[in-house]
Each structure stands twice: as structure tokens, then as C-alpha cells.
Amino acid sequence: METGILVRVGYALVSLFVITNYGLLLIGSMARISAKVQGRVGQPVWQPYIDIVKSTAKRNSIGHGIMFYLGPVFRLA
């Protein structure tokens, strides 16, 4: 019973990996093709991977303040 669950989880993780990579490669190739159609060089196909790494490495330094967090409270009042 436990091995069946582990196999399903493994298949789910592999499918997520394949789908994510397919989508990122599709986005990169479509951006490249649209740039070629417009007469530009375009970004590399692996640019979406670089963008994901850059956005996860950034630290958020924007302070919203107390009123940002109290907005839903005032909305309910």
C-alpha cells in the first residue's frame, strides 16, 4: 500500500518537472521566434530559467506599512 502511494508521488513529481520544463522551453522558443519575425536577435531560449533564478534570488525590501495590512480589517468593518 505504501509503495503505491510513493510511486504515485514519484510520477506526479516527474510529470511536474516535465511540464514545467516544456512550458519554459516553449516560452523561450516563442519569444525567440517572435523576435526573429520582427527582425531582432531575441533572447536565448534558456532566458526563462535565468529569470526564475533571478526572481527567486531577489530579496523583497518593500515595506508596505501598517495600513496595507489593516486594509482588509477596514474593508470588513
Q: Is 53 among the domain residues? A: yes
pLDDT digits (tens, 9 = 90+) for 21-68: 999 999 999 999 999 999 999 899 999 999 999 988 887 767 778 888
Q: Is 72 among the domain residues? A: no
Q: pTM of the full predicted structure?
A: 0.68
Q: Is the pLDDT of residue 14 over 70?
A: yes
Domain tally for the chain? Answer: 1
Q: Is 21 among the domain residues? A: yes
Do the Cβ atoms of 45 and 26 come closer than 8 Å? no
Q: Is 74 among the domain residues? A: no
Please give the pLDDT value at position 61: 65
Q: Is 7 among the domain residues? A: yes
- Dist. CA 44–CA 33, nearest whole Å: 11
- Dist. CA 71–CA 13, nearest whole Å: 38
Please give the pLDDT value at position 70: 86
Q: Is 76 among the domain residues? A: no
State which residues form the domain around 46.
Answer: 2-60
Least confident of 7-11, 14-18, 52-56, 58-62: 58-62
